[in-house]
Copies of this chain bind each other. A is one copy, B any other.
Amino acid sequence: MQHSVLQIPVQESLFVKDPTSSTVGKSILEHGLILLSEIGLEDFTFKKLAAKISSTESTIYRYFENKHQFLSYLFNFYWAWMDVNISFATTNIDDPKERLRRIIGLITKKVSNDLRTPFIDEALLQDVIALESSKTFLSKKVDEENQAGYFLQYKKLVDRISAVIIEINSGYPYPNALVTTILESSFHQRYFGNHLPRLTNEMHIDKRLEEFLLDLCLKTIA
């Protein structure tokens, strides 16, 4: 009895060799994510990861150019996975407001491991992306990486959510800005709730975060 497997496609520019195509590759993904969540991007090195999976640096370099590319891979994976979930949760719902409600629910909710993706633990992934995702685009290499398609999946999701906003109010002039504001804020507010509580208002509680962003969003586009 095998449960279904969810294929999350990731851009070719985000790896040297597709990590899902081999056992070592999958191990790099799985334990790379765990190591990242444990020590953070700064202290993360391919050498440490190689030791963890009993492999070598050179092998890991055959899959990813460097740790930044590895992070970008996870970033895209996360948003592609989120896109699938959002897509699933909003099909056949006619009312765009209800769709928006569900989207914000999904974005603000703490996720748990999705067993359909064997080597990625989404609960860990969410924490890692919340902490590190800004670092994917806040770099002097943005333009180059943008050219290479590093942010396509994120853009795609932003477009999808913007379309819902436009459905609710076709005259609202800043749909994309509103969406990215909410997405970034979702990560930051939860993070502040856990580490810098004076910068927020009890946002470690999922429901409050959801209410804050839904309220903000609906009022803004009303």
CB distance from A142 to the nearest CB of B (A): 5
Asked whether A201 and B177 contact (CB < 8 A) given A196-B137, A215-B220, the answer is yes
A176 with B199, Cβ < 8 A, contacts A138-B134, A185-B181, A215-B220 known:
yes
Scoring A residues 131 to 145 as 1 if CB is less than 8 Å from chain B, else 0, what string do you get? 110110111101100
Shortest distance between the CB of A164 and any CB in chain B (Å): 16
CB <8 Å contact, B42 and A140:
yes
Q: In the complex, are the beta carbons of B158 and A39 less than 8 A apart? A: no
Contact of B189 with A201 in the complex, beta carbons under 8 Å = no
Q: State how many residues of chain A have any CB contact under 8 Å with chain B.
A: 48
Which of B135, B142, B212 contacts A195 (CB under 8 A)?
A: B142
A184 at the interface (CB under 8 A from B): yes
Partner of A196, one of B142, B192, B195, B212: B142
* Cross-chain contact A189 with B199 (CB below 8 angstroms): no
Interface residues of A in 109-135 (CB under 8 A from B): 131-132, 134-135
A and B contact pairs by CB, cutoff 8 A, 6 listed: A135-B135, A135-B138, A137-B195, A142-B195, A151-B196, A177-B192
Q: Which A residues contact B (CB, under 8 angstroms)?
A: 39-40, 42-43, 131-132, 134-135, 137-140, 142-143, 146, 151, 154-155, 158-159, 173-178, 180-181, 184-185, 188-189, 191-192, 195-196, 198-201, 203, 208, 212, 215-216, 219-220, 222
Further contacts, 12 of them, CB under 8 A, given A180-B189, A184-B184: A39-B140, A42-B140, A43-B140, A131-B138, A135-B138, A137-B191, A173-B201, A173-B212, A177-B201, A180-B188, A181-B181, A215-B220
